[in-house]
Amino acid sequence: MSTNYYWLEDGESHCSTCGCHERVHIGKRSVGWKFLLHLHSDRHILSISDWQYMWTGTGIIEDEYGQKIETKEMMEIIEAQKGEKPHDEYSGYGMPVPVVVEGAAYDYWLDVDFS
């Protein structure tokens, strides 16, 4: 089982079809694996610290099911998987192999399209 997490920033562009907020993918939690953080160079999000700074602005974090997540809870979700398996052996279903961060609570992908 896995869950994707997203950032919805107030003032973010809206979908022309349904009017919903555009979501920025934060990352993915999968059972048995370290959290997989999604970094975005086009938004200047290149570390967990950049994400934390983003979360101090106006907007919300939500999971793929629309459940709102507080910033503190998001960090707890990321940290809770620190001891899990790193993604160094991950095939990714056609996705690039993530960067493994030795000793960190997460691994990450940079500029990977999740759509």
Residue pLDDT, tens place only, 9-68: 875 555 566 666 678 999 989 888 888 888 888 889 888 999 999 998 888 999 999 999
pLDDT of residue 34: 84
Task: Kindly report whether the global pTM for this prediction surpasses the value 0.85.
Answer: no
Query: Distance between CA atoms of 36 and 29, rounded to whole angstroms?
Result: 6
N-to-C CA span, the chain = 19
Q: Who wins on pLDDT, 37 or 94?
A: 37
| Mean predicted confidence (pLDDT) in 69-88 | 86
27 near 75, Cβ under 8 Å? Answer: no
Query: At CB < 8 A and 24+ separation, what contacts does 95-101 make?
Result: 98/36
Confidence of residue 100 (pLDDT cuts 50, 70, 90): low
Q: Token digits for 49?
A: 């610290």
